[in-house]
Amino acid sequence: MSHDIAIVLPAFGPSDRALLGLAGAARTLVAANGGRVSVVVVGPTADAASQTIAPYVDRVLMLSHPLLADYQPERFLAVIADACKAIEAGTVLLGGDTYSQELTPRLAHRLGGVAASDAIALNIADGSVEVRRAVYGGKAEAVFRLRAKPAVVWIRARGFAPPAPLDQPATPEVVVVDPPSAAPTRIVERSTEATGAVRLEDAARIVAGGRGIGGAEPFNLLRQLAQAIGAQLAATRAPCDAGWVPASWQVGQTGKKVAPELYLAIGLSGSSQHLLGISDAKVIAAINTDPEAPIFKHSQFGLVEDFRKAVPLLCEKLTALR
């Protein structure tokens, strides 16, 4: 029995790597069970996201309306739910971005299905979707069988391999929708936080600091290293909770899940909660004064040294090489 898949993209600054990971997860499921892959895109960058993912899926729907130019959960939920009902998909996949994490459980409720989060692997057995995810702070993995339909799941999209392009790629279809004009929530204030040129989730290289950094000022030293290698700055939960750095820098179980080519961990011990957020990193390198720090067990490269001595030398050598 075929199993149709719908991918939902609340498109605000789409990441090519995440989009292709979503397509890869969906195509793997339909390859084993049959069916079609449809994509529902909504938001100000819908056109760019549609063009990126179109070669890998069977159908692309771009939901269009002036009221959808700005993110408003109730409006987005209304039009996305209608589109998913029309597709009649057995599974709805979303990425791990902030918008998708907010929409997933609410969308499942509106569709009469069941939600799951942070999937690292998917399978279909006996007509039900099986979701593999980390539990106990990343110390173990568990498989959950979602018996209700549709299964609405946000996945670690960057952890899934992209698929091969289809012989007949989809042509994006523009669908003019009619979202609710009056949303039940009202925006009373907006604040803008300065960020790097690349979103943390999309960064190829990341320099992260932990509690061992000792305060806000030493992060300026890490910033110099990040600039030397073209990396984004990140942190564990402790520096964020202490107010040393913005909360948006947090990586880990309760923060962002990242998958860089290089993750340079400085002054952080490597708790299981933090490791859960970097499990998809290709190479992990660590600098710590404690040779027994757990982070070294998960690192390809490690240096037992005070970062205040090591980082300036690294910056000097890297600047010279550049």
Sketch the domain layout of the chain as residue ranges. Answer: 5-176, 200-321
Q: What is the pLDDT of residues 201-237, one digit of tens each?
A: 888 899 999 999 999 999 999 999 999 999 999 999 9
Lowest mean pLDDT among 91-95, 144-148, 316-320: 316-320
Lowest mean pLDDT among 31-35, 180-184, 304-308: 180-184
The pLDDT, as a whole number, for residue 59 is 94
3-state secondary structure of 192: coil
Lowest mean pLDDT among 4-8, 76-80, 136-140, 261-265: 136-140
Q: Which CATH superfamily includes the segment(s) 200-321?
A: TPP-binding domain (3.40.50.1220)
Alpha-carbon distance of 119 to 22, in angstroms, equals 11
Q: Which CATH superfamily includes the segment(s) 5-176?
A: HUPs (3.40.50.620)
Average pLDDT, integer, range 43-55: 89
* Residue 254 scores a pLDDT above 70: yes
The pLDDT, as a whole number, for residue 13 is 59
Q: What is the pLDDT of residues 102-137, one digit of tens each?
A: 999 999 999 999 999 999 999 998 889 999 998 887
Q: Given this chain, do its domains 5-176 and 200-321 carry the same CATH topology? A: yes
pLDDT band at 183 (very low <50, low <70, confident <90, very high): low
The DSSP secondary structure of 218-255, one letter per residue, reads THHHHHHHHHHHT-EEEE-HHHHHTTSS-GGGBBSTTS
Alpha-carbon distance of 141 to 157, in angstroms, equals 17
Sheet strand arrangement including 173-176? 114-119, 151-155, 91-94, 5-10, 37-42, 59-64, 173-176
Q: What is this structure's pTM?
A: 0.81
